[in-house]
C-alpha cells in the first residue's frame, strides 16, 4: 500500500524515481527527458526539458497508483 509520503515530489531525483518505481520509465521517455537529468531533482529535470512540473508529477504519481492497483 502506498502512503501519502510515497508520492513523488519535486525534490526526488529522476534516478531514484525510476529505481523505486520502474513503471514510470515510459513517462520519462515520453517526455524526452535527457539522460543527463537522471541525477537531477525532477523539478530541475522538468524545467531543463521544458516540461511543466505539475503535469509531470501528476502523470508519474497516477502511473504508480494505477500500476499498483491503488485508487485515490
Flag whether pLDDT at 72 surpasses 70. no
CB contact at 8 A, 3 and 15: no
Q: For 19-71, how does the pLDDT look when each residue is reduced to its tens digit (9 = 90+)? A: 999 999 999 989 888 778 889 999 999 998 899 999 999 999 999 988 887 76
pTM: 0.83
Q: Which residues lie below 8 Å from residue 63, measured CB to CB, with a gap of 6+?
A: 21, 23, 24, 26, 27
Better-scored residue on pLDDT, 5 or 46:
46
Q: Is residue 46 part of a domain?
A: yes
Q: Which residues lie below 8 Å from residue 46, measured CB to CB, with a gap of 6+?
A: 31, 52, 53, 56
Number of domains in the chain: 1
Distance of CA 71 to the CA centre of its chain: 18
Q: Is residue 54 part of a domain?
A: yes
Q: Say what the pLDDT of residue 67 is.
A: 87
**Domain that residue 59 falls in:** 4-67
13 pairs with which residues across the strands? 41
CB atoms within 10 A of CB 58: 12
Amino acid at each position: 500500500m502506498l502512503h501519502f509520503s510515497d508520492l513523488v515530489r519535486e525534490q526526488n531525483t529522476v534516478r531514484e524515481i525510476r529505481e523505486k518505481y520502474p513503471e514510470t520509465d515510459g513517462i520519462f521517455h515520453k517526455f524526452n527527458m535527457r539522460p543527463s537529468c537522471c541525477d537531477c531533482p525532477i523539478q530541475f529535470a522538468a524545467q531543463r526539458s521544458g516540461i511543466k512540473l505539475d503535469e509531470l508529477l501528476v502523470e508519474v504519481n497516477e502511473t504508480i497508483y494505477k500500476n499498483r492497483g491503488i485508487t485515490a
